[in-house]
Amino acid sequence: MYPYNPHSQKAEEFINHEEILETLAYAEENKHNIPLIDSIIEKAKLRKGLSHREAMVLLDCDIPEKNEEIYALAKQIKQDFYGNRIVMFAPLYLSNYCVNGCVYCPYHAKNKHIRRKKLTQEEIVREVTALQDMGHKRLALETGEDPVNNPIEYVLESIQTIYSIKHKNGAIRRVNVNIAATTVENYRKLKEAGIGTYILFQETYHKESYERLHPTGPKHDYAYHTEAMDRAMEGGIDDVGIGVLFGLELYRYEFAGLLMHAEHLESVFGVGPHTISVPRIRHADDIDPSAFDNGIDDDTFAKIVACIRVAVPYTGMIVSTRESQESRERVLSLGVSQISGGSSTSVGGYYEKEAEEDNSAQFDVSDNRTLDEIVKWLMDLGYVPSFCTACYREGRTGDRFMSLCKSGQIQNCCLPNALMTLKEYLIDYAAPKTKEIGEKLILEEIKSIPKEKIQEIVRKNLVEIEKGNRDFRF
């Protein structure tokens, strides 16, 4: 038995099984304790976050009027720190070769009927050009774990290729990377290659379940996988993104583990995760999600998002096209700050749309709309779609980003940058109706920029963008 210690860099101490069980019992005992719930909500209003145990009480609370307070607070905190901006990105699958045996993923090594594919550098150019033609500026690289087919050198070369592609007015300005847990040395190489965020989902924090769900391959090693973010930060990567795959294990356990991981990073490195992702298991080739009996309904999903938002107010939250339009719309106001759009989960699926019988995808996409349709939808809802990558390129990462966010100064950077990158999108890529709605939105949103001087600069830059100039940023 290991003692609970958030300062430890040993997986079973900072994600401690006994601590999680005690947390779940405490929350169950106190889910109707109104004075305690009120005190936790009052603490959350200070915008300094909650402990995993406090957040668990809110998640378990089933008193309707208290839940309404939690939802209202989540919406207000989201508005305070992220405004109505929603950052856009797309995944780019480089290869589905994989040596692991993960039972929930179609890439697993024993799947003999999935079409295995790995992009050449020339094919990457075609894929990225297609993504640029949609209007994307930010990608998340995805690849299976295979030291022969997908070595770190291949990933590094691919990043270099992506950053080098300039097509019309298009450019990928930030490449986030979601690859298997690796060494400090390899994380250092990724940092030197200019990646944005390093993303790795834990899948499940329950060690026994983790080992059962990952029966073979290097991913079977629970500690090595769980300690990956520590190695990434030691390798110089400031921004890391964590997440679990809801549906593999009981959601209450995962929720506690997720927040304990965030607390651990904060306590050891002085900065928590840059993003938290909340994917739910979906159908895919060779994978039936009904085989996993821990799925969560939409109401529970919304409550999880709201409770994460009040517990870690400064952390970005990501929802992908795994979720339907209806599900995504519901959680946007509760805490989500980044979404993917126009996504393909197939290797090579942007340049050539995959034929139905061609099964190289990692999972089925629930939101199949184009990027332009999603941009228009967001603006119809009153959101500002943002293609901004300025903080990463200006060195506002890690604790520097968080300090700006906590002070509220981020509003003088993020909203102007969002509006200017939206203007680029409207001119270069948008359908006529999307452009019409967007131009009106930009004129209205400029008034929300706190400093008049910055408003003036934005207006001048918008004129320059009309003339064909690009890439203005604060």
What does each C-alpha distance from 61 to 45, 98, 176, 183, 306 come to in angstroms? Answer: 17, 41, 36, 41, 13
d(CA 347, CA 282): 18
Domain positions in the chain: 80-390, 408-466
What does each C-alpha distance from 212 to 203, 206, 216, 318 come to in angstroms? Answer: 12, 10, 9, 27
Residue 93 has pLDDT above 90, yes or no: yes
Per-residue pLDDT of 410-469, as tens digits, reads: 667 899 999 999 999 999 999 999 999 999 999 999 999 989 999 999 999 999 999 999
Q: What pLDDT score was predicted for residue 290? A: 59
AA identity, residue 250 = L
Average of pLDDT values for 254-263? 98
Residue 357 has pLDDT above 50, yes or no: no
Q: What pLDDT score was predicted for residue 356? A: 44
Give the CA dihedral 329, 354, 115, 149, nearest 10 degrees: -80
Q: What pLDDT score was predicted for residue 355? A: 45
Domain formed by 80-390, architecture: Alpha-Beta Barrel (3.20)
CB 371 within 8 A of CB 89: no
Average of pLDDT values for 385-414? 77
Q: Model's pTM, two decimal places?
A: 0.93
Average of pLDDT values for 287-308? 81
CA max distance for the chain: 66
Per-residue pLDDT of 70-80, as tens digits, reads: 999 999 999 99
Q: What pLDDT score was predicted for residue 397? A: 75
Q: What SS3 state is found at 164?
A: helix
Angle between helices 452-466 and 432-446 (to 10 degrees): 160
Q: Tell me, what DSSP letter sits at residue 339? A: E
Mean pLDDT over all residues of the chain? 92
CB 263 within 8 A of CB 296: no
Per-residue pLDDT of 27-68, as tens digits, reads: 999 999 999 999 999 999 999 999 999 999 999 999 999 999
In this structure, the number of other CB atoms found within 10 A of the CB of residue 178 comes to 19
Per-residue pLDDT of 181-223, as tens digits, reads: 999 999 999 999 999 999 999 999 999 999 999 999 999 999 9
Q: What pLDDT score was predicted for residue 272? A: 95
AA identity, residue 338 = Q
Q: What pLDDT score was predicted for residue 287? A: 47
